[in-house]
Amino acid sequence: MAAERASHKDGGQTQMSATSRSADGAAMLTSHQQRFLETRRVVRLATADARGAPHVVPVCFAVADGTLYVTIDEKPKRRSGAPLKRLRNIAENPAVAVVADHYDEDWTRLGWVMLQGRADILSVGAEHARAQALLRARYPQLGPMSIEALPVIAVRVERVVSWGDLSVAGLASPAQGGLNQD
């Protein structure tokens, strides 16, 4: 089992942990990282074009089986007919990163998880439908939207790095509808 170093804070003490890999080589989240991601409502998706020019946007997401999914929704965000910059970038350069973070004025409570990998753009098929269902379940706002024909970004997680306080004590969970300081 391959491992990479990742740090997190648990109970106020910094600990080093190994990020495990599944049999197919995909990075596996630790339980701390998984719980931390579950409490986040928004992550930042970083892409770069063929020249390496970066582009970062906040996105809604769901994670399943070593893949992070992002749907394109119906919110207005582009010129008519032009693909979104994130989709154009992934078509040119599939290497991406995603960051979930927590900010607190008490800097002992800062923490983040970064997922790095390669992105695929799903337009149809069983995985596309599964991803859309996961995202609809996590975000009721997607319910009335017609997203079935819209693409899904599938980030195949290859590396996980985390730092800081990943405890979720005191953080509102999505089910509580609470405010997270993302």
3 has pLDDT over 80? no
CATH of the domain at 55: 2.30.110.10
157 has pLDDT over 80? yes
Q: How many domains does the chain fold into?
A: 1
d(CA 154, CA 131): 8
CA distances in angstroms from 40 to 46, 135, 179, listed in the order given = 17, 13, 10
pLDDT of residue 28: 85
Average pLDDT value over all residues in the chain: 84
Q: Does any domain span residue 4?
A: no
d(CA 179, CA 130): 27
Q: Does any domain span residue 174?
A: no
Q: Does any domain span residue 156?
A: yes
Question: What is the per-residue pLDDT across 127-155, written as a single tens digit (0 to 9) for each?
Answer: 999 999 999 999 999 999 999 999 999 99
Give the domain range for residue 70: 14-165
SS (H, E, C) 103-115: CCCCHHHCEEEEE
d(CA 93, CA 89): 6
Question: What is the per-residue pLDDT across 51-86, written as a single tens digit (0 to 9) for each?
Answer: 999 999 999 999 999 999 999 988 776 566 678 999
Q: Does any domain span residue 143?
A: yes
Q: Does any domain span residue 64?
A: yes
Q: Does any domain span residue 33?
A: yes
33 has pLDDT over 60? yes
- Of residues 19 and 125, which shows the higher confidence score? 125
103 has pLDDT over 60? yes
d(CA 113, CA 40): 10
Residue 37 in tokens: 């991601």
Closest CA to 179 of 134, 8, 110, 170: 170
The answer to whether residues 9 and 20 touch, using CB atoms and an 8 Å cutoff, is no
d(CA 85, CA 139): 23
pLDDT tier at 172 (50, 70, 90 boundaries)?
low
Phi and psi at residue 174, to the nearest 5°: -55, -35
Tell me the pTM. Answer: 0.82
pLDDT of residue 75: 73
Q: Does any domain span residue 177?
A: no
pLDDT of residue 115: 96
CA Rg value for the chain: 17
Q: How wide is the angle at C-alpha 38 spanned by C-alphas 34 and 42, nearest 5°?
A: 120
Provide the percentage of residues in the chain whose pLDDT is more than 90: 70
Task: Compute how many other C-beta atoms are within 10 angstroms of the C-beta atom of residue 77.
Answer: 11
Q: Does any domain span residue 171?
A: no
pLDDT of residue 174: 47
